[in-house]
Amino acid sequence: MEQQSIVNKALEKIGDFSASEFNMIHAHAQFRQLKKNDILLKEGQVCSAIYFIIKGAFYQYRMNDVDENIIELHVDNEWFLNNTSFITQKPSFDTIKAYADSEILELNIHSIHKLIEISPVFFQLGKLLQPAAVRTQFFDNTMTPAEKYNYVLEHRPRLLQSFPLKYIASYLKMAPETLSRIRGKH
């Protein structure tokens, strides 16, 4: 029951759902447990679900030669997905991996479509897709390294507590030395 309460609070941030609508979402969602380093989505697979982290942490990465190039970091009480693969229903270029032992709620695309058939109120779930698209356009392309770090400090400080600096630097698209220099100025 506590899990449902956590998920409901997160859903309240994106829309106005009644108690029965919350129950319908939970009836269509699947609870999953993953161990550290388990792969949730492998490069080449189609992302067919939206995930909510009840407990744990995940990261999305794309391999470049020998390193994992971090695309996104996710911590508890966040919704996440591979946005491009989910929207296009084409194979992902990225991998989503558990950084820690985790518990998630999975809402697959078929369940989302069923919910929308039941009531247009479930179109509000589409708001879960927006942050990933905005992040790439705004965050990666327009901010300086210092602005990116300040953005994380202000809007997503739990990332700094959940992931090592090497991951944070990759996520912010800067060298670890640059991140250390910026952190030293704070």
Co-location of 47 and 122 in the same domain: yes
Query: Of 89, 104, 128, which marks where a domain is finished?
Result: 128
In which residue are the tokens 């929308």 written? 116
pLDDT class of 130 with cuts at 50, 70, 90 = low
Please answer whether residues 37 and 78 qualify as being in contact, where contact means their C-beta atoms are separated by less than 8 angstroms. no
Q: Does some domain include residue 68?
A: yes
What pLDDT, on a 0 to 100 scale, did the predictor assign at position 127? 74
- Cβ neighbours of residue 184 closer than 8 Å, sequence gap 6 or more: none
* Highest mean pLDDT out of 13-27, 101-115, 116-130, 131-145: 101-115
Beta strands in the chain (DSSP E): 30-34, 39-41, 49-55, 57-64, 67-75, 79-80, 95-98, 102-108
Distance CA 112, CA 128 (A): 12
Domain ranges, residue 108: 2-128
Co-location of 28 and 60 in the same domain: yes
Q: Does some domain include residue 135?
A: no
Pick the more confident residue, 181 or 123.
Answer: 181
- Cβ neighbours of residue 125 closer than 8 Å, sequence gap 6 or more: 14, 15, 50, 107, 112, 115, 116
Q: Does some domain include residue 134?
A: no
pLDDT tens for 163-178 read 999 999 999 989 999 9
Q: Does some domain include residue 133?
A: no
Task: Kindly state the average pLDDT of the residues 93-108.
Answer: 96
Q: What's the mean pLDDT when you consider all of the chain?
A: 89
Co-location of 103 and 31 in the same domain: yes
**Tokens for 158?**
């739990």
Q: Does some domain include residue 137?
A: no
Co-location of 110 and 170 in the same domain: no
Q: Is the pLDDT of residue 131 over 80?
A: no
Range in 52-66, 110-124, 125-139 with the lowest mean pLDDT: 125-139
Co-location of 75 and 154 in the same domain: no
Burial tier of 64 (Cβ tally within 10 Å: 0-12, 13-18, 19+): exposed
Classified as helix, coil or strand, 164 is: coil
Q: Global pTM? A: 0.88
